[in-house]
Amino acid sequence: MPRGSRILGPGILGPGILGLRPVQVAYHVADPAEAARRFAREHGWGPFYLMEHIALEEVRHRGAPGRFDHSSAYGQAGEMMVELITQHDDSPSALRDCFAAEETGLHHVACFVPDLSAAIADFAARGVSAALEARTTTGVSFAMLDTRRSLGHMLELYEPGEALTRFYAFIRRKAVDWDGSEPLRRLT
């Protein structure tokens, strides 16, 4: 990362991916509920909270209007949130750019940024394109940048707004002293 970046300048966000501190790692899976049970059993991560068909009010894939019907299970692995994500169709998307429906693998690492639009512009100036730009019906905007060439996975960015930081704190809090029971829970 070049020195003096207006958003990602030295010392602003600490060490990590391209000067950003990772807050989440996300795996593409065929079935988040099954994967949550398996990841809890095999790795001790969790508990996982499933959100199905996450509602989005705006979606752009590589600059064009699109759709992104997806579900995710969110859990905790030590200091890091883990997302298990799937897409319910084969519409062009940041997920389908990397994986077929039945495949599993690391899809993205997520980081908070102070200004999402400025961060997207900063990365674009460095030749990193946005594979996805979207906003949830609750007002959370996010982007997945195509950093596969340099990192081997996508990079998800969003601002640490109040609702989002509360959600991260909720997932972390539920993992404290978790005894491994009920590894999958549903969120509405």
pLDDT of residue 15: 45
Contact by Cβ (8 Å): 73, 32: yes
Residues sharing a CB contact under 8 Å with residue 64, sequence separation 6 or more, in sequence order? none
Task: Indicate the helix (H) or strand (E) that contains 85.
Answer: strand 80-87
What percentage of residues in the chain have a pLDDT greater than 90?
86
Q: Which of 21, 186, 37, 44 is nearest to 113 (CA)?
A: 21
Q: Is the pLDDT of residue 7 over 70?
A: no
**Mean of the per-residue pLDDT values for the chain?**
90
Identify the CATH assignment for 22-177 out of 3.60.150.10, 3.30.470.10, 3.10.180.10, 3.50.50.60.
Answer: 3.10.180.10
Q: Is the pLDDT of residue 188 over 90?
A: no
Cα 147 from Cα 153, distance rounded (Å): 6
Average of per-residue pLDDT across 122-146: 95
Contact by Cβ (8 Å): 186, 73: no
pLDDT of residue 18: 60
Summarised one tens digit per residue, pLDDT across range 45-80 is: 999 999 999 999 999 999 999 999 999 999 999 999
Residues sharing a CB contact under 8 Å with residue 72, sequence separation 6 or more, in sequence order? 26, 32, 50, 51, 54, 83, 84, 85, 86
Q: Is the pLDDT of residue 29 over 80?
A: yes
Cα 38 from Cα 42, distance rounded (Å): 6
Cα 110 from Cα 26, distance rounded (Å): 8
pLDDT of residue 84: 98
Can you read off the two tokens belonging to residue 5? 């970046």
Q: Is the pLDDT of residue 20 over 60?
A: yes
Q: How confident is the model at residue 5 (pLDDT cuts 50, 70, 90)?
A: very low
The pTM is what? 0.89
Q: Is the pLDDT of residue 8 over 60?
A: no
| Dihedral over Cα of 135, 81, 131, 11: its sign | positive
Average of per-residue pLDDT across 140-160: 95
